Amino acid sequence: MKSSELSSHFVVLIICFCILVGALILRPTELGNSHIRLGRFALPDVCIFRGVTGLPCPGCGLVRSLVAATHGDVNLSLSYHRLGLLTLIYIFLQFVYRLGFIMIPNWWTRIVRYEKFLNLGIIVLAILFMLNWILTLSLIIFS
């Protein structure tokens, strides 16, 4: 295993870890409120695309959805973003795969075959995000 390959696994592991821990630290708010909370403080909505166009981007509501899902509120998670729960599962699988790759060096030959499924998963997830975005925009435009 090359050091560049190991470092790329480490980078993805750190990113996944930060997303998962961040989602646990933040707190969801009730439906209809566009903020998430860090302790007592409401964090602002920072979607630049929505701010400029007035339309939601493909990821609008995803952070709120991840936060709600990590706190066990599946219905709230799905109401913020239809793919939030699936995205959380994908991030968790990436985390477990990268952790196993780094922490158990003798095991990486056994788990390396799962990388193709994770690579295919991100493509499927990207396609689903685009289809979800088209559906969301069509519901906004034609309602």
Backbone angles phi, psi at 73, to 5 degrees: -95, 85
Whether the Cβ atoms of residue 16 and residue 98 lie closer than 8 Å to each other = yes
Q: pLDDT per residue over 29-41, tens digit each?
A: 766 666 788 888 8
Domain chopping of the chain, boundaries:
3-141
| pTM exceeds 0.95 for this model | no
Percent of the chain with pLDDT over 90: 58
Residue 134: other Cβ atoms inside 10 A: 11
